[in-house]
């Protein structure tokens, strides 16, 4: 360490000035004011720990808890218990919910970029500073501006800001090397706006150029971005000129130093001159800031500061992190990060996380050994913050890639806290592991992963004390998981709920862009902007885990009011092969069932929860006609009396759908279709009236209602494709032709009867042709329609649970982890749009945001929408308070089978939004839907009556 002559002031009570230290020639070039400071140079380094003696530390891995996208570069970050605040290039402050990771508010806070944010210790005040030379003080409650403070001096950019709660005073460091402070309790008069920095004469732009010309800034380029609050100035006396010999880049407040008043804070600042100064605030009102100590880092700007107890971490532009002991005034460690600027430092549980200008994060343990190094940004890391969220340590980083990333660092810190597996974060971690299995049925190379996924799921159920079994009927068929939970009180009679789900998925391809680089792996969970992206996340792995963790909550708290049996198969996307046989063979193992519950569909749009009480059935068929002869040549062999297979097939298909193609001609096809009664008509009208306020693209209410009834409750015959042998030329007469078709049937129509009628009618049509060809009708699969009773007990309990969880105005308490405190009044940003794509049941098709859109290589496997929608015209007044009761045009064959097999009614609670993209690229599920879905299940399993 270097010492210099010290001249204590008469009123100086700081014992640090009594401390005698040795001198060094390295300090000869120090500033003139250094004769009043204690100075330490980096050449005086005394290692407190021998790095060479430390064994190589084990590298740790980190997972992305979530990512959110901003419109511009993220220059500053702070976080409170509920929200993340980001200061952006361009002057905005954006706010995201920590529960749902959705953007909830944006305010244009500064005329130019926001460079710094600071949150008061009690989290009531938010401070921001920027390029516009202004410091704003906001209510962190609702982002209303309280003060806008500027300087009498031309200070340039305000790089850093800090606030002392005990002194009720804010501090800021600026481009002109100065420090300023302002007592928020002062009675300073509001100045005239003419002295506002934006209204001053600019030294460069407003000066005379060659020929005496002036080139001023464009009008409007420096406007006061927000209104409200008190416009005040820093007192002229609260100004420390030349606090550093360059820009003041960073600052923090610390207290409890051994050589300083134990309860009094000190201000620590770092500058572009390579120095770190410690300033006493002991006599701030009378004397001002008093520099009591200085650390010098030669020729390397100090860009970031952090402290942990008495240790001070300084990130330098030279790629070093210097660690100082503020008590002993020693440089105890140099950490070589690399050649890039160390732009941010956060210390959590004795572990330091250092962000660099090349986008890397490096982690060092309490012995200063590197234990982690990973790419955290595709650009530069410019900001970071830390928090404790749901009992997990979370590090948040932001940069010029316009992304804020939440890193779960709980498992890698020195903290020994063991996390319970019941929280939402653990549920998402389980979903991450679950999605990683490529559970595609019917493809041998994925059979191993399907079985591994079933085993993974079984172990997860075992963790929550379920009784489990894996069942399989034959080779090549994925196993079915049975998991049973008993009610918390088994001494009384209780109901049993059977929850059905499936862990298999439709395959997803790895897309390739123009550079032939793979895009995001669909089997790697990607959290982004309040959504979880990954194959199977909404169909059906996410809802399965939501139901499982709901039961886990109740069993842990001894509040499970019913028995719950999970029946999870792995062949649903392949037609539920072997499912019927396995269930029937293990009927006694499953036991008696009172209610059947599913979550395997989606809302009509992205805003209003739904309950599904009906689905159409389906008959899949292939009609084939063959000549039994080789392909022939139309010129050599073609004649009008020749029955060609493709012409015969065309005549048959025409006979099935009639001249207009809008009606099935199968005899008796419409005989048992039920009429639309008054109660159901009211439900359809309620759907239309609920959707229209949020979807102005619905122009005709009657036409929209008719469209729903036609898709949901009327039968239909669809011809999907016609197939012939590969044509070698346009003169070939194919030896055979085939057509695939499906018939969607409705309640009161029997799938077996319709299949027989189709076969018989097609045979009669073919017989009438007098053709020499051969006909084959193959029924590949069939399933009856399902129609539940929306007035029964389980639907009513689901209705109550959904209303309580999703309706902020409900008298029933909503889920605390997914609803902001009622006292917070952030408004939804008006520029936010709902991102979406085609959905399975939805007649609404919201727009996909450009940031998450990829080329669609797979045809839509789910029901598509015909209308575009943003939902921005919904208001708290016109948003429905209860779920919509809907039917769907698609089919889930197992529902009607389970109802008949167990003689129990079924109900469907869709967790997903219309934009979830099930079966498509960018399949996703909103975080809030997953969390709220879990809470709805919890309320249902707790609220079902025993009798």
The mean pLDDT of 176-181, rounded to a whole number, is 97
Question: Which of 76, 80, 155, 70 lies closest to 116, judged by CA?
Answer: 76
Band of pLDDT at residue 37, cut at 50, 70 and 90: low
- Which pLDDT score is estimated for 833? 35
Q: Cis before residue 51, ω within 30 degrees of 0?
A: no
CB 689 within 8 A of CB 708: no
The mean pLDDT of 676-696, rounded to a whole number, is 93
Separation of alpha carbons 939 and 162, rounded Å = 45
CB 918 within 8 A of CB 602: yes
Flag whether pLDDT at 745 surpasses 60.
yes
Flag whether pLDDT at 14 surpasses 50.
no
Band of pLDDT at residue 818, cut at 50, 70 and 90: very low
The residue whose two tokens read 């996703």 is: 924
* Beta-carbon contacts of residue 106 (< 8 Å; ≥ 6 apart): 92, 93, 94, 95, 829, 831
Separation of alpha carbons 922 and 520, rounded Å = 9
Band of pLDDT at residue 235, cut at 50, 70 and 90: very high
The region of weakest confidence among 86-95, 109-118, 381-390, 513-522 is 513-522
* 3-class SS of residue 595: strand
Band of pLDDT at residue 640, cut at 50, 70 and 90: confident
**Structure tokens belonging to residue 91:** 């002057």
Span 524-536, pLDDT tens digits = 999 999 999 999 9
**Structure tokens belonging to residue 656:** 């099935």
Flag whether pLDDT at 17 surpasses 90.
no
The mean pLDDT of 372-387, rounded to a whole number, is 95
- Which pLDDT score is estimated for 412? 55
What are the contacts of 279-284 at 24+ separation with CB within 8 A?
279/179, 280/14, 281/164, 281/167, 282/13, 282/14, 283/11, 284/167, 284/169, 284/181
Span 143-155, pLDDT tens digits = 999 999 999 899 9
What's the helix, strand, coil split of the chain in %, to 5?
A: 20, 30, 45
* DSSP states of 187-214: -PPPPPGGGSGGGSPPTTTTS--GGG--
Separation of alpha carbons 257 and 312, rounded Å = 12
- Which pLDDT score is estimated for 259? 61
Averaging pLDDT over each range in 264-268, 629-633, 641-645, which range is the top one? 264-268
| Domain edges within the chain | 15-52+63-211+223-412, 431-615+787-943, 619-673+714-783
In this structure, what DSSP letter does residue 423 have?
S
Flag whether pLDDT at 741 surpasses 50.
yes
Band of pLDDT at residue 819, cut at 50, 70 and 90: very low
- Which pLDDT score is estimated for 6? 35
* 3-class SS of residue 838: coil
- Which pLDDT score is estimated for 387? 94
Question: Candidates 3.40.630.10, 3.30.470.10, 3.30.460.10, 3.40.50.10490; correct CATH number of 431-615+787-943?
Answer: 3.40.630.10
Span 486-500, pLDDT tens digits = 999 999 899 999 999
- Per CATH, the number for 15-52+63-211+223-412 is 2.130.10.10
The mean pLDDT of 581-605, rounded to a whole number, is 96
* Beta-carbon contacts of residue 901 (< 8 Å; ≥ 6 apart): 583, 584, 587
Q: What is the pTM of this model?
A: 0.82
Flag whether pLDDT at 861 surpasses 70.
no
Span 45-57, pLDDT tens digits = 444 443 333 344 4
C-alpha distance from residue 27 to each of 1, 296, 298, 324, 907 (Å) = 10, 9, 10, 18, 79
Flag whether pLDDT at 124 surpasses 80.
yes
Beta-sheet strands, E only, within 300-391: 302-308, 311-316, 320-325, 330-336, 342-348, 351-356, 360-364, 370-375, 381-389
Angle 585-588-593 from CA coordinates, rounded to 5°: 110
Torsion sign over Cα 569, 570, 576, 582? negative
- Which pLDDT score is estimated for 785? 97
The mean pLDDT of 797-820, rounded to a whole number, is 66
When computed from its CA atoms, the radius of gyration of the chain, rounded to whole angstroms, is: 35
* 3-class SS of residue 455: helix
- Which pLDDT score is estimated for 807? 85
Beta-sheet strands, E only, within 561-628: 563-569, 595-598, 610-615, 617-626
Q: Which run of H or of E encompasses 585?
A: helix 579-585
- Which pLDDT score is estimated for 195? 57
The mean pLDDT of 255-267, rounded to a whole number, is 74
Higher-confidence residue: 225 or 606? Answer: 606
Flag whether pLDDT at 866 surpasses 80.
no
| Summary mean pLDDT of the chain | 84
Partners of residue 239 on adjacent β-strands? 180
Partners of residue 252 on adjacent β-strands? 268
The mean pLDDT of 385-407, rounded to a whole number, is 93
Burial annotation 581-592 (CB, 10 A radius, 16+ → b, else e): ebbeebeeebee
Flag whether pLDDT at 901 surpasses 90.
yes
Separation of alpha carbons 888 and 896, rounded Å = 14
What CATH class has 619-673+714-783? alpha beta
Beta-sheet strands, E only, within 144-274: 145-150, 158-164, 169-174, 179-183, 230-233, 239-240, 248-255, 265-271
Strand 716-723 and strand 736-745: the pairing is: antiparallel
Flag whether pLDDT at 441 surpasses 50.
yes
Flag whether pLDDT at 787 surpasses 90.
yes
- Which pLDDT score is estimated for 227? 66
Enumerate the H helices of 619-716 as residue ranges: 634-637, 645-657, 678-691, 701-712
- Which pLDDT score is estimated for 574? 92
CB 403 within 8 A of CB 358: no
Separation of alpha carbons 603 and 916, rounded Å = 10
Flag whether pLDDT at 728 surpasses 70.
no
Share of the chain above pLDDT 90, in %: 67
The mean pLDDT of 379-394, rounded to a whole number, is 92
CB 518 within 8 A of CB 511: yes
Separation of alpha carbons 196 and 477, rounded Å = 74
* 3-class SS of residue 733: strand
The mean pLDDT of 768-772, rounded to a whole number, is 94
Phi-psi region of 578 (alpha: psi -120 to 50; beta: other; left: phi over 0): left
- Which pLDDT score is estimated for 328? 83
CB 91 within 8 A of CB 108: yes
Higher-confidence residue: 67 or 229? Answer: 67
CB 366 within 8 A of CB 332: no
């Amino acid at each position: 360490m270097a010492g210099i002559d010290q001249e204590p002031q008469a009123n100086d009570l700081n014992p640090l000035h009594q401390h005698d230290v040795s001198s060094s020639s390295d300090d000869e070039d120090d500033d003139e004011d250094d004769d009043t400071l204690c100075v330490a140079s980096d050449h005086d380094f005394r290692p407190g720990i021998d790095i060479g003696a430390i064994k190589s530390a084990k590298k740790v891995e980190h997972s992305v808890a979530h990512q959110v996208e901003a419109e511009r570069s993220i220059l500053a970050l702070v976080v409170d218990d509920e929200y993340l605040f980001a200061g952006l290039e361009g002057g905005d402050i954006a706010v995201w919910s920590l529960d749902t990771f959705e953007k909830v508010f944006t305010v244009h806070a500064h005329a130019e970029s926001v460079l710094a944010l600071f949150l008061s210790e009690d989290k009531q005040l938010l401070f921001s500073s920027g390029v516009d030379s202004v410091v704003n003080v906001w209510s962190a409650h609702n982002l209303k501006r309280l003060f806008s403070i500027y300087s009498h001096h031309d200070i340039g950019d305000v790089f850093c800001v800090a606030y002392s709660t005990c002194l009720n005073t804010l501090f800021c460091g600026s481009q002109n090397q100065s420090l300023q402070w302002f007592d928020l309790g002062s009675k300073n008069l509001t100045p005239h706006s003419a002295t506002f920095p934006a209204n001053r004469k600019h030294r460069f732009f407003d000066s005379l150029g060659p020929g005496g010309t002036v080139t001023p800034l464009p009008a409007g380029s420096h406007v006061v971005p927000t209104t409200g609050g008190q416009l005040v100035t820093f007192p002229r006396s609260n100004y420390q000129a030349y606090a550093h010999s360059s820009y003041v880049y960073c600052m923090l407040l610390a207290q409890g130093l051994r050589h300083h008043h134990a309860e009094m804070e000190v201000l620590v600042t770092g500058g572009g001159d390579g120095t770190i100064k410690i300033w006493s605030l002991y006599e701030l009102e009378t004397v001002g800031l008093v520099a009591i100590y200085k650390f010098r880092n030669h020729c390397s700007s100090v860009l970031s500061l952090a402290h942990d107890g008495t240790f001070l971490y300084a990130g330098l532009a030279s790629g070093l992190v210097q660690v100082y002991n503020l008590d002993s005034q020693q440089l105890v460690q140099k950490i070589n990060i690399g050649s890039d600027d160390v732009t941010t430092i956060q210390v959590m549980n004795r572990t330091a996380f250092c962000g660099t200008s090349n986008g890397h994060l490096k982690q060092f343990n309490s012995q200063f050994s590197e234990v982690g190094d990973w790419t955290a940004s595709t650009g530069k890391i410019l900001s970071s913050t830390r928090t404790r969220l749901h009992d997990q340590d979370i590090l948040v980083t932001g940069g010029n890639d316009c992304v804020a990333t939440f890193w779960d660092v709980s498992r890698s810190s020195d903290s020994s806290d063991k996390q319970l597996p019941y929280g939402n974060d653990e549920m998402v971690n389980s979903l991450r592991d679950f999605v990683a299995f490529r559970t595609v049925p019917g493809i041998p190379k994925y059979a191993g992963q399907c079985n591994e996924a079933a085993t993974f799921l079984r172990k997860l159920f075992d963790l929550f004390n379920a009784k489990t079994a894996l069942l399989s009927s034959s080779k090549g068929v994925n196993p079915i998981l049975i998991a049973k939970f008993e009610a918390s009180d088994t001494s009384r009679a209780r109901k049993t709920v059977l929850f059905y789900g499936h862990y298999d998925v439709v395959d997803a391809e790895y897309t390739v862009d123009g550079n032939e680089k793979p895009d995001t792996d669909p089997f790697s969970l990607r959290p982004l902007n309040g959504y979880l992206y990954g194959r199977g996340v909404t169909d059906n792995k996410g809802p399965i885990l939501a139901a499982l963790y709901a039961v886990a909550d109740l069993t842990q708290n001894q509040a499970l009011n019913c028995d719950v049996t999970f029946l999870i198969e792995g062949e649903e996307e392949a037609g539920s092969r072997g499912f019927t046989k396995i269930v029937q063979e293990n009927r006694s193992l499953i036991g008696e069932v009172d209610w059947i519950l599913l979550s395997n569909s989606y809302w009509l749009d992205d805003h209003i929860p739904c309950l599904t009480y009906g689905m159409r059935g389906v008959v899949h068929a292939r009609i084939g006609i063959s000549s039994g002869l080789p392909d022939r040549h139309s010129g050599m062999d073609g004649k009008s009396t020749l029955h060609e297979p493709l012409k015969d097939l065309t005549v048959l298909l025409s006979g099935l759908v009639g001249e207009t193609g809008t009606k099935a001609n199968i005899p008796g096809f419409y005989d048992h279709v039920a009429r639309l009664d008054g109660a159901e008509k009211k439900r359809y009208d309620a759907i239309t009236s609920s959707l229209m306020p949020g979807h102005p693209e619905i122009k005709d209410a009657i036409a929209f209602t008719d469209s729903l009834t036609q898709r949901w409750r009327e039968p239909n015959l669809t011809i999907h494709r016609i197939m012939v042998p590969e044509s070698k030329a346009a003169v070939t007469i194919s030896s055979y032709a085939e057509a695939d078709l499906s018939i969607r049937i409705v309640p009161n129509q029997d799938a077996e009867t319709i299949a027989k009628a189709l076969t018989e009618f097609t045979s009669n049509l073919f017989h009438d042709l007098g053709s020499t060809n051969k006909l084959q009708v193959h029924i590949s699969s069939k399933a009856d329609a399902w129609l539940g009773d929306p007035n029964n007990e389980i639907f009513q309990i689901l209705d109550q649970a959904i209303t309580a969880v999703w309706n902020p105005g409900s008298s029933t308490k909503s889920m605390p982890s997914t609803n902001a405190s009622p006292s917070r009044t952030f408004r939804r940003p008006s520029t936010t749009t709902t991102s979406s794509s085609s959905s399975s049941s939805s007649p609404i098709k919201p727009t996909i945001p450009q940031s998450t859109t990829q080329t669609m290589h797979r045809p839509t496997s789910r029901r598509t929408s015909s209308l575009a929608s943003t939902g921005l015209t919904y208001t708290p007044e016109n948003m429905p308070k209860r779920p919509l009761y809907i039917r769907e045009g698609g089919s889930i064959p197992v529902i009607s089978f389970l109802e008949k097999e167990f003689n129990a009614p079924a109900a469907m609670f869709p967790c997903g939004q219309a934009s979830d993209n099930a079966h498509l690229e960018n399949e996703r599920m909103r975080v809030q839907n997953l969390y709220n879905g879990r809470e709805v299940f919890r309320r249902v399993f707790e609220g079902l009556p025993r009798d």
